[in-house]
Amino acid sequence: MKTDLKRRRLVLAIGGVLVAGAVPAAARREPTPAQTAGPFYPVELPLDRDNDLTRVAGASGAAIGRVTDLTGRVLDVGGRPVRGARIEIWQCDANGRYHHPRDEGPRDPNFQGFGHTVTDPDGRYRFRTIRPVPYPGRTPHIHMAVFRGDAEPFVTQLYVKGEPRNAADFLFGRIPPDRRGLVMAEFVPVVGGDAELQAVFDVVLAGRDGTPAG
């Protein structure tokens, strides 16, 4: 996975550099903790890899699961937006299966499993996906990678706030207790609209100019 990310980083370099000065300590944001990409980053990217994981091009059905609007911003430690960053997410389907040859079992053919988007001038991003589900050994989570320029991609995992399985998850447990809130989001019901849930998750990159780190 790490090799794949490095190789794709070279061809997905995104222009634009934010000019950043010193950040006052009181205004500094805590960087999002980095986490492993895991073993199930796609070996071959799907042909349909937009930011809506609940629909697959050419298929008439919709993904099984609780449809969720996932939004947020990518920021530097000074709170400045990081524009033009490429964000990728990948996760298992409602059956607990990744779109990966090493993960055998019945898969939801209407779940894309992987998607990407690019942050707007305000650093905002949006995905349509499903609320993550557990599978043996792991609490519900969504993998996320942020590519910016020729820097190393920043990789983390997004967890569900209040999920009781978090306490026993070995990767979640590696995050210092006082920083665990930085990798969690609430998945709350939506009133109206065509999504059942919504979640907001901001990513704060450690570099002063929004350069991915970790």
Judge whether 85 and 121 are in contact, CB under 8 Å: no
pLDDT tens digits, one per residue of 146-185: 999 888 999 999 999 999 999 999 999 999 999 999 999 9
CATH number reported for the structural domain that contains residue 75 in this entry = 2.60.130.10
- Give the per-residue pLDDT at 14: 33
- Give the per-residue pLDDT at 73: 98
Instruction: Answer yes or no: is 143 within a domain.
Output: yes
- Give the per-residue pLDDT at 46: 76
- Give the per-residue pLDDT at 192: 84
The H or E element that residue 69 is part of is strand 67-76
Q: Is the pLDDT at 102 greater than 80, yes or no? A: yes
Residue with tokens 């409602």: 94
- Give the per-residue pLDDT at 4: 58
The pLDDT > 70 percentage for the chain reads 84
- Give the per-residue pLDDT at 85: 97
- Comparing 76 with 17, the larger pLDDT belongs to 76
Instruction: Answer yes or no: is 22 within a domain.
Output: no
Instruction: Answer yes or no: is 59 within a domain.
Output: yes
Instruction: Answer yes or no: is 187 within a domain.
Output: yes
Determine the structural domain holding residue 95 and report its residue range. Answer: 2-16+27-205
Instruction: Answer yes or no: is 112 within a domain.
Output: yes
Strand 154-160's sheet: what is its strand order? 114-118, 86-90, 141-147, 154-160, 184-185
- Comparing 52 with 24, the larger pLDDT belongs to 52
pLDDT tens digits, one per residue of 53-100: 999 987 778 999 999 999 999 999 999 999 999 999 999 999 999 999
Indicate the number of domains in the chain. Answer: 1
- Averaged pLDDT score across all residues of the chain: 87
Instruction: Answer yes or no: is 44 within a domain.
Output: yes
- The pair of three-digit structure tokens given for residue 79, joined into one six-digit string: 């709170």
- The pair of three-digit structure tokens given for residue 80, joined into one six-digit string: 């400045």
Instruction: Answer yes or no: is 213 within a domain.
Output: no
Instruction: Answer yes or no: is 211 within a domain.
Output: no
Q: How far apart are CA 49 and CA 38, in angstroms?
A: 19
pTM: 0.85
